[in-house]
Chains A and B, each alone.
Chain A
Amino acid sequence: MNLHTLTIAQAQDLLAKKEISSVELTRAFLDRIDKYDNIISAFITVDPDLALKQAEQADRIIAKGENQAFTGIPVALKDVLCTKGVKTTCASKILENFVPQYDATVVEKFKAQDAVLIGKANMDEFAMGSSTENSAFFVTRNPWNTDHVPGGSSGGSAAAVAARFCAGAVGTDTGGSIRQPASHCGVVGLKPTYGRVSRFGVVAYASSLDQVGPITRDVTDAAMMLNLMGGHDPKDSTSAPEQMSDFTKGIAMFKDKGLSGMTAGIPKEILSLEGIDPEVKTMFENARKTLEGLGITIKEISLPHTNYAVAAYYIIAPCEASANLARFDGVRYGYRDMDSDDLIEMYKKTKSKGFGLEVQRRIIIGTYSLSSGYYDAYYGRASQVRALIMDDFKRAFEECDIILSPVAPTPAFKIGEKVGDPLTMYLSDIFCLSCNMAGIPGISVPAGISSTGLPMGLQMMSRHFDEMSLIRAGYGFEQAVSKHIEFPEL
């Protein structure tokens, strides 16, 4: 049996039946990492001894019959989540040697069930980017074609799942950073409702947009992982008090009655946007037909402010980033320039040597937009446009249960293709951003392979706290389409 091909649900079943052990499962993934991560470069940190120790502990728990859903399941974490005693770098030189003294709440939840934390995944520095090329350490390669990017910013997490280096992974999504790399790597990525999952211990990029979520092989695993990760956390004041559900019920709902009774909206604005690859358009048209075949009613809707989402996002996110990243001042943790004997000079040298170019670019955009005389024209106006985007969704969801779009306008681009042109890179996030602006949940499910052999994802979005509809429709779509897509050989 090729243990690395197991989904979380399959592995959980075999572990519970004691047909496999967590040590065997963990070894299978570690062997793959050892063999192929020199090509893919998905991980910043892997500690095989620690992972095997956790696996042994999990096996003891299973032997006692005390196993829970994630006991013994090897999971990768984006290197933005604080892990006690294990380096957490955010793919930045400024945190290259940072060892957190506590676990993020999400990490605690995995540990509480004795999951195996197999490694810390590469990302765009401080989650700023769409290709993982902004990592200060190295570029991650797309397992489907190593000349191409895996997407970003959770590119290491998505590539690790696609390369079958782990059973599932945790990512974060501020403007598409779970869904877009999932789409580019042919895996499932779920951005929960803002506030659904605790952000405590997750290094902040843009606090009103950041959300933590699963990247998995299939929709069932995403539902299981959300069950574990979600819920109110008193340590995160933006964490929502809403009750959690068992999201695997969405799968039972599909098995029971398909998608009948559900309405999917297609925003008329999105297909007239410039720069959408014809193959992405064909994929989307086929996806629409498939969903119709599953009983869903399709309706044309309007999100009139879609065109302004990128511009508003690239004000709001950098403004919040410029405030959040002020904490990296070389005083309490992280890199410090030791040659300065003046405080201001020390701050400046520390930041400019510690932060990469994209991070400095966004700090400057944010500082500019918030500076005296420009605040109203930039941050103020962008916040008003954000209100209009939220209204668009509110109105749209009076007519439909889910909204469909492609995840990305093109399949994964080539490494180096957009590095010199940040604006073009920003525009590749067009379909994902408004979801974060409105705080609603969104899922990316594999929907096809381009003629060049690269995967393309379908995005579904739903009302606040209605991840259930995404699981139901996502699972239905997966049964019809995604599960017939073969993973690449490495």
Chain B
Amino acid sequence: MKISQQEVEKIAHLARLDVDDELKETLAGQLSDILDYIDTLKDVDVDGVTPVSGAAFMNNVFREDEREPSPGPDVTLANAPERDQDFYVVPRVVK
């Protein structure tokens, strides 16, 4: 599977990554190699095999919906890069 630099750019945008031209070229080459290797999965007969999404014993886990004390805004926002009182600040969204 050949990955073009345009495809890398498109995927990087979806992943919200800012990839410069040099890296785009490197990644396109490396991803093509990796996906070529991954294409060996096409040799496996998976007809009728139910996919698994985890190694856990897939039972749903329920618990009582009980109220517990909140750590409060000073703990919750302690690592905020930018805050205003009890709010996170982000760049303007609506223009």
Residues of A within 8 A of B (CB): 98-99, 101-102, 194-195, 208-209, 234, 237-238, 240, 305, 307-308, 310-312, 314-315, 322, 326, 329-336, 338, 340-349, 351-352, 355, 357, 360-361, 363-368, 371, 378, 380-388, 390, 422-423, 426, 436-439
Contact = CB atoms under 8 A, between A and B. Distances in A.
A305 B49 CA distance: 14
Interface in B1-57: 3, 7-8, 11-19, 23, 27, 30-31, 33-35, 37-44, 46, 49-57
Given A346-B90, A380-B51, A381-B46, 5 more contacts: A345-B91, A351-B17, A360-B19, A364-B15, A388-B46
Contacts of A237: 61
B56 A344 contact: no
Given A314-B34, A314-B38, A388-B46, A364 B55 contact: no
Contacts of A346: 90-91
B69 interface: no
Contact of B8 (A234, A364, A380): A364
Contact of A101 (B8, B34, B63, B78): B78
Contacts of A99: 78-79
Nearest to A349: B18
A204 to B, nearest CB: 13
A446 to B, nearest CB: 27
A192 B19 CA distance: 38
Given A195-B57, A240-B56, A240-B57, A311 B38 contact: yes
A162 B80 CA distance: 38
Contacts of A422: 30, 34
B11 A364 contact: yes
10 closest Cβ contacts across the A-B interface? Answer: A439-B55, A383-B51, A333-B79, A336-B81, A348-B18, A384-B46, A208-B54, A352-B18, A194-B55, A347-B16
B75 to A, nearest CB: 5
A195 B56 CA distance: 7
Contacts of B78: 99, 101
A245 to B, nearest CB: 18
A426 to B, nearest CB: 8
A236 B58 CA distance: 14
Nearest to A237: B61
Contacts of A311: 37-41
A268 B7 CA distance: 40
Contacts of B41: 308, 311-312, 315, 381-382, 385
Contacts of A437: 55
Nearest to A427: B37
Nearest to B89: A331
A355 B37 CA distance: 25
A273 to B, nearest CB: 13
Given A334-B81, A351-B18, A383-B51, A361 B27 contact: yes
8 contacts: A194-B55, A311-B38, A314-B37, A331-B80, A361-B27, A380-B51, A384-B44, A423-B34
Contacts of A336: 81-82
B92 interface: yes
Given A308-B44, A314-B34, A352 B19 contact: yes
A386 B71 contact: no
Contacts of A357: 23
A477 B87 CA distance: 57
A385 B44 contact: yes
A52 B46 CA distance: 57
A383 B92 contact: no
A338 B89 CA distance: 11
A341 B82 CA distance: 13
A435 to B, nearest CB: 10
Contact of A305 (B44, B51, B82, B91): B44
A239 to B, nearest CB: 9
Contacts of A439: 54-56
A488 B25 CA distance: 43
